[in-house]
A and B are shown apart, each in its own frame.
Chain A
């Protein structure tokens, strides 16, 4: 059974809310950059950067990480997964980074992304922003900014669709 939790308009409101929260919190921070986690964290990070432009003098740079090579279950999957590659076009040393993903669930993806970022240099700080927090963490990791918190069963599936990757903006919950 699939239920729609947010339509296109509601997703737009959530993104705007998230951008405002990140901007407010980092008002004094000059060296701010966003890093999206592939795949859906990347278009989300771009939208957040665009949403934050109004209140800031300088453009906020956006990078992308692919966490495949840092997954903790690589030894368990049946075959080597596709590595899409990371693209961080700026020096992260001394920057305040906001890591962006669409959903946080177990926290393992975020752990992998943080490990990867630290191999690019030593940022001043790393914050975490997600569109949806669906609970059921397996690691001690919490988002600094979550636009929407959803109560779910462990086996539920939360799907986020974004125009850039899926042709529409929508959030759904499927109970199995």
Chain B
């Protein structure tokens, strides 16, 4: 079994059957995490590097854990302690790390397309762990996995993505992923946070949360990314919460089977009330657990088998 590409650069390059391949494998890897000794020797002798140019807790940790659960070595690189501060370029950094003998590079970078650029210049496989406001494919895959676990299938399900659609790589990857899996996706947010061309992805746009919220099966909340918002996209945090926040009052009005996801970290009290976490339909923590299984599946599919045979073929 194989993905068409040696790299995972985005959901955009995957078709429905490839996404389902990854998700089906993730399901079997999820079981490994519940064993007495939750480590399998599948990638013994392989090494990957976490090349993170932006801060991250869960994604970097999740990739390291996924690697170690597969007996795959993992080294962590962070921008703060590296020669990047001495002016080393992305390509130099990557080539130097590759020269030390790593099989895969997991990269997070503030520039959209950085993983794609890297994939054309290194022999290692490349996994995009977030590139600017472009894509975050493993987040979309773990969200899809969590929803499949809860709802069975995404076919025909109505998913609402709420928040800063314009600045969010999670929004783009999730939109692409859910649509490819057969869901009907709508987006909702302040007009300043909705990109003008978003309908091209086949989704409906709503500017008022209360108009659409009661018609959906899944509410996918996004983080208000204060670090990416340059101009003032909304007047105040209090107004944002009042218009677009998932408050307990809004949650309690929803049908009991409606589920809520959030990629984290949550700005509690802004896009989501703190008490929402207490509801079992809020899947924030299961999402994190599933993230490890999904990343195991991705690493296994990309690093499993003989890389040399792959290049020859």
| B42 cross-chain contacts in A, Cβ below 8 A | 68-70, 74
Query: Interface on chain A toward B: helix, strand, loop, or mixed SS?
Result: loop
- Would you give the 0/1 interface string for B289-306, flagging 1 where the beta carbon is closer than 8 Å to chain A? 000000000001111111
- Check if B1 sits within 8 Å of A84, measured CB to CB: no
| B95 cross-chain contacts in A, Cβ below 8 A | none
- Check if B28 sits within 8 Å of A84, measured CB to CB: yes
A118 to B255, CA, bound (A): 45
Smallest CB gap from B2: residue in A: A79
- Check if A80 sits within 8 Å of B1, measured CB to CB: yes
A55 contacts the other chain (CB 8 A): no
- Check if B29 sits within 8 Å of A83, measured CB to CB: yes
- Check if B301 sits within 8 Å of A75, measured CB to CB: no
- Check if A78 sits within 8 Å of B309, measured CB to CB: yes
Sort chain A's interface into a size bin: 20 to 34
| A79 cross-chain contacts in B, Cβ below 8 A | 1-2, 304-305, 310
Quote the shortest CB–CB distance from B54 to chain A (angstroms). Answer: 29
Given A69-B41, A74-B304, A78-B313, the answer on whether A83 and B36 have CB atoms closer than 8 Å is: no
Give the one of A80, A82, A115, A119 with max B CB within 10 A: A80
| A82 cross-chain contacts in B, Cβ below 8 A | 1, 25
A121 contacts the other chain (CB 8 A): yes
Given A70-B40, A74-B305, the answer on whether A86 and B1 have CB atoms closer than 8 Å is: no
- Check if A78 sits within 8 Å of B306, measured CB to CB: yes
Quote the shortest CB–CB distance from A85 to chain B (angstroms). Answer: 3
Interface residue from A74, A76, A85, A116 paired with B27 (Cβ < 8 Å): A85
Smallest CB gap from A73: residue in B: B306
Count, chain B residues at interface, CB 8 A? 30
- Check if A86 sits within 8 Å of B31, measured CB to CB: yes
B196 contacts the other chain (CB 8 A): no
| A85 cross-chain contacts in B, Cβ below 8 A | 27-28, 31
Give the one of B41, B43, B44 with max A CB within 10 A: B41
- Check if A76 sits within 8 Å of B2, measured CB to CB: no
A77 contacts the other chain (CB 8 A): yes
A119 to B303, CA, bound (A): 23
- Check if A75 sits within 8 Å of B45, measured CB to CB: yes
A90 contacts the other chain (CB 8 A): no
| A116 cross-chain contacts in B, Cβ below 8 A | 40
- Check if B41 sits within 8 Å of A115, measured CB to CB: yes
Other 4 A-B pairs with CB < 8 A, given A80-B2, A80-B303: A68-B42, A69-B300, A80-B304, A121-B36
29 A-B residue pairs with Cβ-Cβ distance under 8 Å, sorted by A, are: A68-B42, A69-B32, A69-B40, A69-B42, A75-B44, A77-B305, A77-B306, A77-B309, A78-B305, A78-B306, A78-B309, A78-B310, A79-B1, A80-B1, A80-B300, A80-B301, A81-B304, A81-B305, A82-B1, A83-B25, A83-B300, A84-B28, A85-B28, A85-B31, A116-B40, A119-B36, A119-B37, A120-B35, A120-B36
Q: Which 7 A-B pairs have the closest CB atoms?
A: A80-B304, A85-B28, A69-B40, A119-B37, A69-B42, A79-B305, A78-B309
